Amino acid sequence: MTYHAHTLTPLGEMILASNGHALTGAWFTGQAHFPQQEDLGHRIEVSDCDVLTDAQAQLLEYFDGQRAVFELPIAPEGTDFQLAVWASLREIPYGYTTTYGAISKIVGPGAPAQAVGQAVGRNKVSIFIPCHRVVAADGKLTGYAGGLERKEFLLALEEPSAEVEGRLF
């Protein structure tokens, strides 16, 4: 059984989904690749599911700058290739970015960066699986299912301070 609940964030409303044991989805309302209503399961209140309660609390801590790592079970459904890409996304540390090409080298020899990009774009657990940390080879921001403005916000939120990075400015 799948459940979903709505929660507000500084970037707008998000839908959080759970199977009761793990977080299975986190989408911005109306984003690209938003699931069909029947795939979201029953609508409940966040407080009706421990997983959703924990996810909401950790998400708000993240937006408040109090959390860099999420500590809850995450179990999105996808193809083996998508799951491999999403697993590699979870290895990108807070405050860092990588490229589609770098991920393609991790997930398998000959995996085209374009296929990686498609899997990244279909990430079902936005923010918790940090697809926003993937940029083009030239460092430019490219597609984000939740919108480039949100991607910019998330990367700015995670940018280390000059003191942490050992920079003067």
H helices present in the chain, as ranges: 37-40, 50-63, 80-89, 100-107, 113-121, 148-158, 162-165
Q: Tokens in use for 134? A: 């993937």
List the catalytic residue out of 92, 129, 131, 154: 131
- Distance from C-alpha of 59 to C-alpha of 133, rounded to nearest angstrom: 16
Contacts 24+ apart (CB under 8 A), 113-118: 113/137, 115/81, 116/85, 117/142, 117/143
Reply yes or no on whether 131 is catalytic.
Answer: yes
Q: Tokens in use for 25? A: 């989805």
- Distance from C-alpha of 142 to C-alpha of 43, rounded to nearest angstrom: 32
Question: Which residues are tagged catalytic?
Answer: 131
